[in-house]
A = this chain, B = another copy of it.
Amino acid sequence: MAAATLLACDWGTTNLRAWTLDRQGAVVAEKDFPLGVSKLAPGEAAKRFAAEVRPALDAEGLPAILCGMIGSNLGWTAAPYADCPAGLADLARNLTAVADNVRIVPGLRCEGIAGSPDVMRGEETQLLGWLAQHPDRRAGRHVVCHPGTHAKWVLIEDGRIARFVTAMTGELFAVMNAHSVLKSDAPATDDTAFDEGLAAAGDGDALAARLFTARARVVGGKADAGSTPSYLSGLLIGAEVASVPGLLGEPPGQVSLLGDAVLCALYRKALTRNGVAVEVFDGEAAAIAGLFALGAPT
């Protein structure tokens, strides 16, 4: 087995994924920990990292690089944001050292919509790792979507993240599915209802009204309540893909999806339906590539 040279961690709100990487960036060992920052008490991150993460990966003494919400005020320390436009070199210049041999990747900030800033933590490492994996994408303009709790729509120009818009689609689904009149324990696995939701999304305007169709189609006797989660998922994703990418400028004719395979498949269906060309890329591989590019010992 190749010798590990770097401990790389994607440390998010609910979970910590850790890999040791060899001199070429290949994975030597990997492990998940239920240590998301939402479960950590103040000061706990440093202790758990030293006492649990390093030993479990046989990574005592290795340089470590961390990205994600671990760099927020709920994590290890608040690592300052870097500003867009930003490429890998900009992130590398703004790492925050939090302990001997431990550095945190900065989140990114840009001018958002409606006069507010927009922010990301963790996705920047995946996005720029994806660019490191695909040198052919470093020239020109590309639109990348990273679906999730807070989906990111990202405009990449000449190898740097120019700007981005966040959509709370995943969180809207989660809270409506768990806490509203639409709540359901049924799985979101009904393809037909998902397609009906996509159709009901229209051009994504008047979302509060479109959401009520998820209730009315059941109360009005046109659908079974068990299909509500899939319909809701289709409605929210359909409204997002119809309206959010336009906030970056011209609605894109081509989108690269980067992230979880199941979620990317849903977004692919929604975008394809609208005539948008789609490619799907693995988010975990991109995260590893980004962490390696930023943290590899020189």
Contact = CB atoms under 8 A, between A and B. Distances in A.
Interface of A: 109, 112-119, 150-151, 153, 165-169, 171-172, 175-176, 178-181, 199-200, 202-213, 215-217, 219-220, 222, 236, 239-240, 243-244, 246-247
B114 A213 contact: yes
A209 B244 contact: yes
B204 A206 contact: yes
Contacts of A200: 113-116
A212 B166 contact: yes
Contact of A211 (B172, B199, B213, B219): B172
B116 A202 contact: no
B220 A114 contact: no
A285 to B, nearest CB: 27
Nearest to A197: B114
A148 to B, nearest CB: 12
Given A209-B165, A216-B166, A181 B176 contact: no
How many copies, total? 2
A166 B140 CA distance: 44
A176 B208 CA distance: 13
Contacts of A204: 205-207
Nearest to A231: B116
Given A116-B217, A179-B175, A206 B166 contact: no
A210 B166 CA distance: 8
Contacts of A109: 220
A151 B211 CA distance: 12
Given A119-B220, A150-B212, A171-B181, A114 B202 contact: yes
Contacts of A240: 206, 208-209
A119 B243 contact: no
Given A117-B216, A175-B180, A236 B210 contact: no
Nearest to A220: B117
Contacts of A205: 203-205, 243
B150 A168 contact: no
A180 B168 contact: yes
Contacts of A243: 205-206, 209
A11 B202 CA distance: 35
Contacts of A150: 181, 212, 215
18 contacts: A109-B220, A112-B216, A115-B199, A115-B200, A116-B200, A116-B216, A151-B208, A165-B206, A166-B212, A168-B208, A168-B211, A171-B180, A175-B175, A175-B179, A179-B179, A204-B205, A204-B207, A205-B243
